[in-house]
Chains A and B, each alone.
Chain A
Amino acid sequence: MTAIVEVRDLTKRYDGEKLALKNLSFKIAAGEIIALLGPNGAGKTSLISTICGLTTMSQGKVFVSGFDVQSDYRNARSLIGLVPQELMLEPFETVMGTVSLSRGLFGKAPNPSYIRGILERLSLWDKRDSPIRELSGGMKRRVLIAKALSHEPKILFLDEPTAGVDVDLRRDMWRLVKDLQRDGVTIVLTTHYIEEAEEIADRIAVIHDGQILLIEDKNLLMKRLGKKQLLVELADPIERLPKLLEDLGIKLHNEGRGLTYTYDMEVEQTGIPEILGALKSEGIRFNDVRTEQSSLEDIFIELIKDRSV
């Protein structure tokens, strides 16, 4: 993997007090979509802020495309677009004014047709001359995205891009992120919506209390930590589980009206044929059989729970 971002032993201590990031090291591959998951206060925003130059780092080094973000900040930062978590915009400025400012700040010559393309893509072109205070929250969020894209960044940081955004707009946002990836942009996003990470991310990093608990390919992660469950709905409720079934690891469920069996996603031998055989030999009749797969959310909750104990 070619790393576009490399974080080495990064520690962040605010005002010598609060330890927000504890010795993090990881890499972000060029062209991937990586989701940072973690509860409130985990350090997601602190991590992004340190990479982008909004806060100082206490220890460690960060490289963007090989450029040290401290000593070579001009080269490093011109590759980065940042959409902050808060809606921070000048209320009296127009959409066009603020987006043009962003492009200029990042050292790019004005390019009206490129800016027009971005505003159209974000359905903001009609609003280009409106003062920002007249826009809705969702539109303001898109203005922030337009600002971040205005200078053609190679890597885009989205800090909770879909917080307070309705379902339609969220889907639009996901489509945009996928499109950007196709254009070669690397995307780092933080989210509390695990379905969001599940939907669009290639890799997942779970941050908790300033540490990265894991960083892994989404599909591998779900395979490794995910569980499957077989649910059998019985025709007639049973009081006690026959010994044969108990030995196979089956549990009674729903006051005897159902059976459950949990197994890892990875294993080859699921044991399901044996179970069905045992049901038959015990003479237990059933109406329905189905399987359920744990979501990223279940995995996430498990991980954080293990940590907190």
Chain B
Amino acid sequence: MNYYAIRAIYTFEMARTLRTPLQSFASPVISTILYFIVFGSAIGHRMIPIDGVSYGVFIVPGLIMLTVMTQSVANASFGIYFPKFLGTIYEHLSAPISPFEIVTGYVGAAATKSAVVGLIILGVSFLFVPLEIAHPVLMMGLLCSTAFCFSLLGFILGLWARNFEQLSFVPTLIITPLVFLGGSFYSIDMLPSIWRDVSMLNPAMYLISGFRWAFFGNSDVSIQLSVVFIGFFIATFLGIIWWIFSTGYRLRS
């Protein structure tokens, strides 16, 4: 195991993040505050509480998940796509490192960054609404595994993308709709039954629901199911990455 390589990639990526703190941390926080103002304060007062939770509080887990998921995909896809674009990937290809080490370094850094952004948003939420977390340890665990899971997805996207258009296409057309429609801002129970069934096919829904359970102790689907789904996604994404590296797909000509 090449620990130094993992460490080198991780610190290199974190340095990139810290070089642009505004872009990395301030912009997701600002957009979250805007969501709070619009959905929490302006609209929220007119909403009836969901399962005994006021709407302003209800959207906190969804907001964190929304940001963590989109940030993870963006960070991880850019992290690996940029060296491909610049050609500096030559060094990784010629280094004595295994796919596992490359993935750990890049995905670890991307997941760290988006988990930190998620925690900052959580901190900001306390300023806006009275919040209590029913299962804090589980909440942290789900936050980190979601960040890891979506960073893996972003990493696959970055490996696959041949240009910047493809790189932004997938998040805009696939990830963002899935996350928005996965119940970030509403309970699935509020939907007509046909849309409720469709939502059951949305993978993001299981993650958001599980995260909400960690906050309030109840949610749309059972927490066990959510955990199983996260594990399933992580395993699938790892499998795809393993396949990409073992075939050299879009990496080695």
Query: A residues touching B (Cβ–Cβ < 8 Å)?
Result: 14-15, 52-56, 73-78, 80, 82, 84, 86, 88-93, 97, 100-110, 147
How distant is A134 from chain B, measured CB to nearest CB, in Å? Answer: 15
Query: B residues touching A (Cβ–Cβ < 8 Å)?
Result: 2, 4-5, 7-9, 11-12, 15-16, 19, 82-83, 86-88, 90-98, 248, 252-253
Q: Identify which of A14, A90, A97, A110 contacts B86 (C-beta below 8 A).
A: A90
Asked, given contacts A88-B87, A90-B86, A90-B88, whether A77 binds B94 with beta carbons under 8 Å apart, the answer is yes
Asked, given contacts A54-B252, A90-B86, whether A105 binds B92 with beta carbons under 8 Å apart, the answer is yes
Taking a contact as CB atoms under 8 Å apart, the answer to whether A107 and B86 are in contact is no
Taking a contact as CB atoms under 8 Å apart, the answer to whether B2 and A107 are in contact is yes
The binding surface of chain B is classed by DSSP as helix
Asked, given contacts A82-B90, A82-B94, whether A101 binds B253 with beta carbons under 8 Å apart, the answer is no
Taking a contact as CB atoms under 8 Å apart, the answer to whether A53 and B94 are in contact is yes
**A82, A86, A107: residue with the most chain B Cβ atoms closer than 10 Å:** A107
How distant is A28 from chain B, measured CB to nearest CB, in Å? Answer: 17
11 A-B residue pairings within 8 Å (CB atoms): A14-B253, A55-B253, A56-B248, A74-B96, A77-B95, A84-B90, A91-B86, A93-B12, A97-B15, A101-B91, A106-B4
Q: Give the distance in Å from the alpha carbon of A221 to the alpha carbon of B15 in the complex.
A: 51
Taking a contact as CB atoms under 8 Å apart, the answer to whether A101 and B12 are in contact is yes
Q: Identify which of A54, A101, A147 contacts B93 (C-beta below 8 A).
A: A54
How distant is B158 from chain A, measured CB to nearest CB, in Å? Answer: 15
Chain B residue at minimal CB-CB distance from A73: B96
Chain B residue at minimal CB-CB distance from A102: B91
**A55, A56, A93, A106: residue with the most chain B Cβ atoms closer than 10 Å:** A106
Q: Identify which of A82, A91, A97 contacts B12 (C-beta below 8 A).
A: A97
B97: A residues at CB distance < 8 A: 105, 107
Taking a contact as CB atoms under 8 Å apart, the answer to whether B252 and A104 are in contact is no
B7: A residues at CB distance < 8 A: 104
**B7, B16, B82, B88: residue with the most chain A Cβ atoms closer than 10 Å:** B88
Taking a contact as CB atoms under 8 Å apart, the answer to whether B4 and A109 are in contact is yes
A102: B residues at CB distance < 8 A: 91
Chain A residue at minimal CB-CB distance from B15: A97
Asked, given contacts A88-B86, A89-B86, whether A78 binds B96 with beta carbons under 8 Å apart, the answer is yes
Taking a contact as CB atoms under 8 Å apart, the answer to whether B15 and A104 are in contact is no
Taking a contact as CB atoms under 8 Å apart, the answer to whether B94 and A107 are in contact is no
